[in-house]
Amino acid sequence: MLRKKTVIIGAGGHAKVVMDILLANPEIEVVGLIDKRDGSNIRGYKRLGDDSLLPELLRQDIRHAFVAVGDNDLRRRLAKRAAALGFQFINAISPHAVVSETASLGNGIALMPGSIINADARIGDHAIVNTGASVDHDCMIGSLTHLAPGCRLAGGVTTGEGVFLGIGSKTVDQAFIGAWSVVGAGAVVVGDIPDRCLAYGVPARIVKAIDAGFLAHRKENHMS
Q: In 3-state terms, what secondary structure has residue 81?
A: helix
For 76, list phi and psi in degrees, rounded to 5: -60, -45
Told to judge if 137 belongs to the known catalytic residues of this protein, a careful annotator would answer yes
Among 80, 54, 65, 51, which Cα is nearest to 4's? 65
Residue 132 to residues 31, 96, 105, 195, Cα–Cα distance (Å): 28, 10, 18, 26
- Catalytic residue (choose from 137, 146, 217, 222): 137
Residue 214 to residues 17, 36, 52, Cα–Cα distance (Å): 26, 23, 27
Give 165's contacts (C-beta < 8 A, 6+ positions apart).
145, 146, 147, 148, 151, 153, 159, 171, 177, 183
Supply the residues annotated as catalytic: 137
